[in-house]
Amino acid sequence: MNPTVLLSALLATPDSGSQGFDLGKMMAIIIASIFVNNFVLARFLGICPFLGVSKELDSAIGMGAAVIFVMALATLGSWAAYHLLLVPMGLTYLSTIAFILIIASLVQLVEMILQKFSPALYSALGIFLPLITTNCAILGVAVLNIDEKYTLGYSLVNAIAAGIGFTLALILMAGLRQRLELADVPPAMKGKPVAFLVAGIMSIAFLGFAGLGG
Amino acid sequence: MSLIKDFTKGIYRENPVFRLVLGMCPFLAVTTSVENALGMGAAATFVLICSNFLVSLFRNIIPSKVRIPCYIVIIATFVTLVDMVMNAYLPDLHRSLGIFIPLIVVNCIILGRAEGFANRHPVLNSIADAVGMGIGFTLAMVILASFRELLGNGTLLNINVLGSAYQNQPLLIAILAPGAFILLSFILGFFNILEKRKGGRQ
């Protein structure tokens, strides 16, 4: 395959109807992924890290950054694998297996590269990287992008916005949980139950965004 | 004897959802109706049994360094199987479960049982463990789904329970996203009280 064919394949839309760059649609995707369909609070993706890593603000920010980074990479990898490999070969039923393998190996690769070239960043993000393989938000965004028939550009925007939405929920939760430590909670509700209750109230707040951005 | 123990522990004592708080994403997302909960439970249980069986069968062959990728491939294979079968025979259920079918791959319960149980127990015990955990997961989903469907829609398994007067003005929030979080928090709190009572008596 020569480079121009590869490039045009990358830029072509799968549904070929809405080719090109549409700022309105892009804004709609960004707002929908961050607020209206927030990955954690509306779509229920990535609940495990949402509860596990939201005890401190610093680790919440670290996890959020790692998730945005891996989401963008995973989207790139899964999009290319789906449209350049699985579709031409008629193997789309293998997409789940292909995506999870791509994500797992990407995470491993990122971990090795960071360890080698940026020890500072590695020590900040390192402990979160292995957790990300089983973060359903990453596989979720890859599957959603294929389901929605987004182009590569839209997929990337969607992935980064979804990551920002996840980080936003995580940071808000971390801030609330730090205060919750000092609150007088009934003993039966301590820990996970009250965390879910707080998430529920946050989710009500996010319901207010419904209808925004179409 | 130990077979029965491996089977029953998943249902209450080590219930994956209520006691271990695992597998939250599908648990919260598909519990909008009892029907969806049963469908998801059946799909996850099938994958759990098959993956535990294979992992346990190959536990001495799989090198420990690459065991996690191996488990993920095994799990993903069965998830693809479930995905295709459900798409062919139960298209409505497949549509309402949506992306949560492929996401069974990253369900922590399944990988957790492969890593935590099946890779060091014989085949029969692993299957018993998988069946128990699967039933425990399904049961937990059915409990939350019953509350959500009853409060949010006035029905149970699509049968009208609370009458049409309630259905005109149901507690809609129960079926929306916040309802899942809030009801789950109360259920977890209830189980904590139950556990404390039990501990106090012993």
- Best B24, B32, B101, B110 residue to mutate vs chain A (most A CBs within 10 Å): B24
User: Distance between CA A167 and CA A171 in Å, rounded?
Assistant: 6
Asked if the C-beta of A201 comes within 8 angstroms of chain B's C-beta atoms, the answer is: yes
Residue count of chain A, please give it: 214
In a domain, residue A146? The reply is: yes
Distances (CA, A) of A15 to A33, A77, A146, B127: 21, 20, 11, 44
Across the interface, whether the CB atoms of A96 and B102 are under 8 A apart is answered yes
Rounded to a whole number, what is the distance in Å from the CA of A93 to chain B's nearest CA? 7
Which residue has 């990122």 as its token pair?
Answer: A110
For residue A107, give the nearest of A78, A73, A158, A145 by alpha carbon: A73
Rounded to a whole number, what is the distance in Å from the CA of A51 to chain B's nearest CA? 10
Q: Two tokens at A27?
A: 């804004």
Q: What is the pLDDT of residues B143-161, one digit of tens each?
A: 999 999 999 888 888 888 8
In a domain, residue A4? The reply is: no
Which pairs count as long-range contacts for B55-62, CB under 8 Å and 24+ apart, including other chains? B55/B114, B55/B118, B55/B119, B55/B126, B56/B118, B56/B119, B56/B121, B56/B122, B56/B123, B56/B125, B56/B126, B56/B127, B57/B123, B59/B118, B59/B119, B59/B120, B62/B119
In a domain, residue A37? The reply is: no
Interval B175-188 mean pLDDT: 91
Residue A163, amino acid: G
Task: Identify the domain containing residue A73 by its residue range.
Answer: 46-207
Confidence of residue A15 (pLDDT cuts 50, 70, 90): very low
Number of CB pairs, chain A paired with chain B, less than 8 A apart = 121
Residues of B with CB under 8 A from a CB of A: 21-22, 24-26, 28-29, 68-69, 72-73, 76-77, 79-80, 83-84, 99, 102-103, 105-108, 111, 173, 176-182, 184-186, 188-190, 192-193, 196
Distances (CA, A) of B102 to A188, B25, B34, B83: 35, 12, 20, 7
Average pLDDT over chain B reads: 88
Confidence of residue B79 (pLDDT cuts 50, 70, 90): very high
Across the interface, whether the CB atoms of B103 and A46 are under 8 A apart is answered no
Dihedral over Cα of B76, B82, B83, B85: its sign: positive
Q: What is the pLDDT of residues A93-102, one digit of tens each?
A: 899 999 998 9
Dihedral over Cα of A176, A181, A182, A188: its sign: positive
Q: What is the pLDDT of residues A127-167, one digit of tens each?
A: 677 778 777 889 999 999 998 888 898 999 999 999 999 99
In a domain, residue A151? The reply is: yes
Average pLDDT over chain A reads: 83
Confidence of residue A72 (pLDDT cuts 50, 70, 90): very high
Interval A19-26 mean pLDDT: 74
What pLDDT shows up at residue A128? Answer: 73
Of A133, A143, A196, the CB nearest to B188: A196
The torsion angles phi and psi of A175, rounded to 5 degrees, stand at -60, -45
Least confident stretch, A117-131, B11-25, B41-55, B146-160 = A117-131
Interval A172-192 mean pLDDT: 87
- Best A38, A40, A67, A100 residue to mutate vs chain B (most B CBs within 10 Å): A100
Rounded to a whole number, what is the distance in Å from the CA of B81 to chain A's nearest CA? 9
What's the number of domains chain A is made of? 1
Confidence of residue B201 (pLDDT cuts 50, 70, 90): low
Distances (CA, A) of B18 to A41, A202, B143, B186: 20, 22, 11, 11
Q: Give B166: exposed, middle or buried? Use CB within 10 Å, 0-12, 13-18, 19+.
A: middle
In a domain, residue A25? The reply is: no
